[in-house]
Amino acid sequence: MIPSIVGSGLTIAVLFLMGMKQGNSAISFQTQEQLPVHKAIYTVKENGEFVPLDFTGVSREVMNSVVHIRSVRTIQSTGNSYQGQSIPFGDMFGDDFFRFFRETPPQGQQRGQSDPRVQMGAGSGVIISDNGYIVTNNHVIERADEIEVTLHNNETYKAKVIGTDPSTDIALLQIREDDLQGLSFGNSDLAEVGEWVMAIGNPFNLNSTVTAGIISAKGRNINIIDDQSAIEAFIQTDAAINPGNSGGALVNLNGELIGINTAIASPTGAYAGYGFAIPANIVNKVVEDLMKYGMVQRAYLGIMIRDINSELMKEEKLKRSEGSYVDSLVAKSAAAEAGILSGDVITGLNDAPIQKSSDLLEQVGRHRPGDEVTITVDRHGKEMTFEVTLADQKGERKLASKEDMDILDVLGASFEELDKETAERLGIEGGVIVKDLGNGLLKNQTSISEGFIITGINHKQVKNQNDIRKMLNQEKGGVLIQGVYENYPGELYFAFGLPE
């Protein structure tokens, strides 16, 4: 980058000196205050409406609604040979954090440890209301001990996490301030491939950066969200997005938020022409759930699905090349009870066509348990429709509340009581093994791995699941978990906060 800048500067200097030596008047530089084509280039929508291809007005408005987010996380050093090194997280997809290279399993705080290290991350966020609500990516603030938000006018605030949804990589924050300029949601369903869009964020900590491009594709599933219930139906754009843009705004030329920038596909970790944003309609639903219920109300059909390709068409003798193929169904699931069968090809949900599995995931992800939807399927060439009442992951067809939730579900794992032989071998009185670690407090707020044996909570001994349930139901605020790994030395401590 530097050599090209220096070379350009030298070229200009040589041209100027050449003009002086020839005895002619020096090169004159004319300032063009208004280009002849300014505001004369238009794009035409399907309805015939002319939209000026001018980014200046939208940029001025939108930049006031995009913030810079700085997150801080304190990590205890364990003295192993890898501590202190850092590598970018992810080879294919750019990310806003650097993960410390460490041995497995991850460490908590050991007795006798010292010299904590500070891990810092940076990203972007979008103000969506005048009273300080801000949307960003979950991976921007994940496991952060402190979150700092800087507005476009350089004012800085401490932010509170209202809620997170790792399944969509969305987080909702709030700062204590009124009279902010919130960005309104657009209908991402109406966004079209080829439409001009703008990305606003803070790449490489370059605050309030605006880039422009077009929508390259919709409904992209790139398998970047590490969650069992991941919903990926990204808007793909060639507007330049780099590390630091995560959580920033993707807007149309009306200045409406149509997506939250989340990832890039790149062999180097920097922009290579492929950026991905979470559609605004998914973001809107997640934010509404977090505000209204304090948790995301996730709906499920209860099916395993596959995209259709030539191999599947030949194998199953399908006559359709588009749709979502039902590979199998969960017993007593919403889809099964409605009459959908394995081998059906889902082609529509309500009025939305389903061309691939990501379309189905996106449409179902906009609904809540108890919602009734119309599913259209192709069954061996015959079109059929089914009325389906969506359920949650447990099969319940009603909205959940925090009071109804088992505290073990909030932790996001299943547990197994430690057998006596293993306990004696490890020199402990007993404990509970963490199994099937998924979306929940343990994954989102600690670095506990599957196989960790919980021996105590807030210095009280744990021997079975009921001990965990009983202790946590009596606690408020911060919780300290202690325990061991079977093949890892020393007792470890992990801290997390219970939801209010």
Active site residues: 139, 169, 246
The phi, psi pair for 290, rounded to 5°, reads -65, -35
Report d(CA 211, CA 204) in Å as an integer: 14
| DSSP 8-class letter at 306 | E
Three-state SS at 264: strand
Report d(CA 371, CA 351) in Å as an integer: 15
Quote the tokens at residue 188: 């991402």
Secondary structure element (H or E) that encloses residue 471, with its range: helix 465-473
Q: Which residues contact 433 (CB under 8 A, 6 or more apart)?
A: 415, 416, 417, 418, 451, 452, 453, 454
Amino acid at 427: G
Q: Any bridge partners for residue 50, and if so which?
A: 44
Dihedral angle over CA of 53, 272, 90, 139, nearest 10? -10
Q: With contact defined as beta carbons under 8 Å apart, do 257 and 185 qualify?
A: yes
Three-state SS at 138: helix
Q: What is the CA radius of gyration of the chain?
A: 27
Q: With contact defined as beta carbons under 8 Å apart, do 124 and 92 qualify?
A: no
Quote the tokens at residue 480: 């300290």
Helices (H), 197-324: 280-293, 310-316
Q: Which residues contact 385 (CB under 8 A, 6 or more apart)?
A: 374, 375, 376, 377
Report d(CA 455, CA 464) in Å as an integer: 9
Secondary structure element (H or E) that encloses residue 299, with its range: none
Report d(CA 354, CA 375) in Å as an integer: 10
Report d(CA 351, CA 232) in Å as an integer: 20
Q: Any bridge partners for residue 191, and if so which?
A: none
| Helix (H), strand (E) counts: the chain | 11, 30
> Which position has the token pair 């599933």?
221
Dihedral angle over CA of 284, 289, 295, 300, nearest 10? -80
Count CB atoms within 10 A of the CB of residue 274: 19
Count CB atoms within 10 A of the CB of residue 342: 13
Report d(CA 164, CA 152) in Å as an integer: 24
Report d(CA 446, CA 442) in Å as an integer: 5
